[in-house]
Amino acid sequence: MTASIFSKSFTAEIRALLGKAQKIEGTVAGYRNQAGQKIVDWLVLSAPADREKSWAKIGASAQVKALFADCGLGESACKNYTTSVKLAYIHDVPFAASLFTKEGKAAAGIAGSAGRADNAKSGGKVSTTTRKDLDKTLSKALAQARLLNLADFAADLLDLCIDTLPEFKETVLDK
């Protein structure tokens, strides 16, 4: 391995700045999720019991998309957040900005998504395991935390894994 061209102090400075950025991104994601959840809560309180029919009846897609556009989000973000609001509302799950993705649907347990618990094999009781299996499980937990916009938790979990498991390797990144 070639020696780094960057000094240790320079590397530490960059690491600190990126750490701050990650915390800010987590905070921003938290605010976005709060805003989305407020919309879902408003719909739940304001619309009739049959959520799927009421979504169409009140023209919620257009209304929610217009609200996001009025708040300065771009076209693509408006579409994605509107889809995430719809999924959270109709399926009665907490809002997450990533719900519009296959991974987001799977994390929320929405039917028809890959990785949903009732489509997967039962894990069963752990009676034997390997260190490689542990790394794989922890890597999946890291990926789930990131999908749920839990950046601080993911960073803390990763730090714990690296600090306490010297040979820890994030296997989800091996794809």
Q: Rounded to a whole number, what is the largest CA-CA distance in the chain?
A: 65
Closest CA to 105 of 78, 81, 76, 84: 84
Q: Which two tokens stand for residue 98?
A: 């990533």
Domain boundary among 118, 142, 166: 118
In a domain, 4, yes or no: no
Does the structure show a pLDDT above 50 at 43? yes
Considering the domain architecture, whether residues 102 and 162 belong to the same structural domain is answered as no
Lowest mean pLDDT of 79-83, 90-94, 154-158, name the range. Answer: 154-158
**Residue range 88-101: mean pLDDT, rounded:** 90
Distances (CA, A) of 115 to 1, 45, 87, 170, 175: 38, 31, 17, 19, 17
Considering the domain architecture, whether residues 48 and 76 belong to the same structural domain is answered as yes
In a domain, 79, yes or no: yes
User: How many CA atoms, within 13 angstroms, populate the side-chain half-sphere of residue 154?
Assistant: 19
Considering the domain architecture, whether residues 25 and 91 belong to the same structural domain is answered as yes
Domain that holds residue 143: 127-175
Return the top range by mean pLDDT from 61-65, 128-132, 145-149: 61-65
CB atoms near residue 129 (< 10 Å): 10
Considering the domain architecture, whether residues 114 and 135 belong to the same structural domain is answered as no
pLDDT attached to residue 75: 92
In a domain, 31, yes or no: yes
In a domain, 33, yes or no: yes
pLDDT attached to residue 113: 52
Contact 106, 116 (CB under 8 A): yes
CA 25 to chain centroid, in Å, comes to 12
In a domain, 1, yes or no: no
Please tell me the total count of domains within the chain. Answer: 2
**Residue range 125-142: mean pLDDT, rounded:** 79
